[in-house]
Chains A and B, each alone.
Chain A
Amino acid sequence: MVALDASQERLAGDRRHLGRSLAFWLLALLVAMAVLSLGHGASGVSAPRVLVDWLTGHEIAQTDRVVLFDIRLPRLLTGMLVGAGLAVSGAIMQGLFRNPLADPGLLGVSAGASLGAISAIVLGGLLPPTIIAVAGWHLVPLAAFAGSWLAMVTLYGIATRQGRTSVATMLLAGIALAAMIGAVSGLIIYRADDQQLRDLTFWGLGSLAGASWVKLLAAGPVIAAALLVSPFLARGLNGLALGEASAAHVGIRVQRVKTTAILITAAATGASVAISGGIGFVGIVVPHLLRLLAGPDHRWLLVNSALLGASVLLVADMISRTIIAPAELPIGIITAMIGGPFFMWVLLSNRRMLDG
């Protein structure tokens, strides 16, 4: 009995060590991917040359400047934030629901964001022209963000009674809400003309093609704030793994953990969906893979999820914008196409471990 405990403890120690060294390698990977991403693109503009010219005060061609500073750089930052945001949201939800399959899609948060976007694309024309003029092309992201928040607030309201949030009620209510939101979306889609339908299709597949400084400044801080707060949840989520009652006994303020977790995921998912549309698989695959590699300790899981999520999205985006250049493939297709089989392979090769 004692020997078993000791070996388990050693295993836990190994895992913690693994989490830390993994974080180091993931950070290195992210830096490498960022450099690669900045230097790579359809136009063949050389990032190092432009940077050297810029630093030495040489004249830079207008096109080169636009490609590097107005296209690739905001796109790089957007990709990193969205990837990190989706992966961390997935990790938090899986911890909160003690269910490895939970992701924002399950709770209707993504559905809410989609409903917002669909409404803006199809019904946006019905708004007074002054509103359209002021909101400009931010109408869709704004509506998506509003939609995800509305879904999350509704859900939280349903699941919380007398200051206590029932995670089980929330999960079930989330599934019901997602179905209802889906129905309303369908109703609105029915009104769409064929042009709008094509817009909807492309929006649903997800893309970073619309990345811009303005969008990044609007949604970036929301995701960044959510990411910065997330490490504070680690201890609470670790405690919750024991079950709510046990977590409360070891001194974890369960309600506070739940509230914070929900706020973070709503903010990160809402903002991510708003700027990049529907990008699937990152939220579920990345935390899952890291849990298999370095164990379920959230102290490293959350950080590593952010790092790996960012890298994964950068790679997917690089593929999406170069594989059929000068055209571009929606990134959601890439994440699902790579993520799906890869995930399947990881699952199959770890089957014995998963089955316990």
Chain B
Amino acid sequence: MIARAVCAATLALSLTMPAQADPHPDAERVLAIGGSVTEIIYALGQQGRLIARDTTSSFPAEAQELPDVGYMRALSSEGVLSVKPDLILSEEGAGPPETVAILKEAGIPFETIPSGTDAEGLTAKIEAVAEVLGVPEAADAPVEALRADLDSLAEATGNEGQPKRVMFILSLQGGRVMASGQGTEADAIIRLAGAENAVQGVEGYKPLTDEAITSAAPEVILMMKRGPEDSGHAVAAEALMTNPAIAATPAIESGSVIRMDGLYLLGFGPRTGQAALDLHDAIYGGT
């Protein structure tokens, strides 16, 4: 009984702590779980070893031609085994834990890449994926490109004086505004872009009352594009106008509504430096 409890405890601990990733240079059938990990594999030029991906891996377009093993938090153990991977490379948060345990039981290496939303974390992520794939030198180019983007970002930011106040709206259903507070990817990218989250004192994605929207007084509203063919800027602006509190914000008065691709904006992969630059330029009008 005690032995079982100890066993369960160590198992649980080993699942919660990101284990030191081991290199697998011989892995030829790699399954990528998580949009940013998939992007990094392509950035490293290792896509030839990729045999399947999860639902969140929607970039680049070629990745979508690979078999889809489902949503990263609801994986099916037999489904994953059926694509016969010899390495599973995952973002943090893949599950359910029972599935992960069975995959490990089946003897398939399961490596988890720690998440990170700042410059250090992003670089570490790329390097970790390169490390696990056994091609550490392949990380040089993408890391350098990322650093260059972040450098030009650092150059661009800080010249604007007062940072602009940006509100990220996740969804707008029935006029109800779901905005992002602290600790979200949206908050992180807004800060990277040299702006300020207009929604302060709220954790996570939360519905906002009209009064909270009014007092947040965003100068810019940021939203996700729903797909590549979604260019309905006018539609989005119209939808925003249905909420009187939103319609009265400085952002709507000045017409500052920015819409960007969700994975590009919030994915925190190799394109994030570029995404933050784009966001910065969109916010500050390319200055």
Within 8 A of A (CB), among B172-213: 183-184, 203-206
Contact with B along A206-236 (1 / 0, CB 8 A): 0101111001000000000000000000000
A326 within 8 A of B: yes
Q: Which residues of B contact A136 (CB under 8 A)?
A: 8-9, 11-12, 15, 97
Stretch in A10-18, A26-34, A67-75, A249-257 touching the partner: A67-75
Residue on B nearest A63 in the bound complex, by CB: B106
Q: Is A195 an interface residue (CB 8 A)?
A: yes
The proximity string for A residues 316-356 relative to B, scoring 1 for CB distances below 8 Å and 0 otherwise, is 00000100111110100000000000000000000000000
A133 touches B71 (CB 8 A): no
Determine whether the beta carbon of A137 is less than 8 Å from that of B12. Answer: yes
Given known A70-B105, A326-B83, A327-B55, contact A210–B96 (CB-CB < 8 A):
yes
Known contacts A133-B12, A194-B205; decide if A210 and B78 are in contact (CB<8 Å).
no
B12 touches A132 (CB 8 A): yes
User: Which residues on the B side are within 8 Å of A43 (C-beta)?
Assistant: 78-79, 81-82
Residues of B near A41 (CB, < 8 A) are: 78, 82
CA A190 to CA B99, docked complex, whole Å: 28
Partner of A70, one of B82, B102, B205: B102
Which B residues from 44 to 82 make CB contacts under 8 A with A?
Answer: 52, 55, 67-71, 73-82
- Name B70's closest neighbour in chain A (CB-CB): A327
Partner of A328, one of B76, B83, B205: B76
Contact A210 B99 (CB under 8 A): yes
Decide if B154 is an interface residue (CB 8 Å cutoff).
no
Residues of chain A contacted by B13 (CB below 8 angstroms):
133
Residues on A with C-beta less than 8 A from B183 are: 193
Interface of A is mostly: helix
Q: When chains A and B are docked, how far (Å) is the Cα of A194 from the Cα of B56?
A: 14
Complex Cα spacing A43 to B106, Å: 13
The interface residues of chain A lying within 8 Å CB-to-CB of B8 are 133-134, 136, 138
| Chain B CB within 8 A of A172 CB | no
Residues of B within 8 A of A202 (CB): 71, 73-74
Q: Cβ of B101 < 8 Å from any Cβ of A?
A: yes
The interface residues of chain B, by DSSP majority, are classed as mixed
Q: How many residues of A contact B (CB 8 A)?
A: 39
- Say whether A330 contacts B78, CB under 8 Å: no
A194–B204 CB distance below 8 A: yes
Using Cβ atoms and an 8 Å threshold, which residues of chain B touch A215? 98
Assess whether A193 is in contact with B203, with CB atoms less than 8 Å apart: yes
Contact pattern, B 87-119, Cβ under 8 Å of A = 1, otherwise 0: 000000101111101100111000000000000
B234 within 8 A of A: no
In the complex, the answer to whether B205 meets A193 with C-beta atoms within 8 Å is yes
Q: In the complex, how many angstroms separate the beta carbon of A180 from the nearest chain B beta carbon?
A: 22
Q: In the assembly, what is the distance between CA of A276 and CA of B77, in Å? A: 15
B235 touches A (CB below 8 Å): no
Complex contacts, B74 vs chain A, CB 8 Å: 202, 207, 209, 328, 330
Partner of B79, one of A42, A62, A70, A330: A42
A199 touches B (CB below 8 Å)? yes
- Chain A residues in the interface with B (C-beta under 8 A): 41-44, 62-63, 66-67, 70-72, 132-138, 190, 192-195, 198-199, 202, 207, 209-212, 215, 321, 324-328, 330
| 7 nearest A-B pairs in the assembled complex, by CB-CB distance | A327-B70, A326-B79, A328-B76, A136-B12, A43-B82, A137-B97, A66-B106
Interface CB pairs A-B, < 8 A, 15: A71-B81, A136-B8, A136-B12, A137-B96, A192-B204, A193-B205, A194-B184, A195-B93, A199-B73, A202-B71, A209-B96, A321-B79, A325-B79, A327-B70, A327-B76
Chain B interface (Cβ < 8 Å from any Cβ of A): 5, 8-9, 11-13, 15-16, 52, 55, 67-71, 73-84, 93, 95-99, 101-102, 105-107, 183-184, 203-206
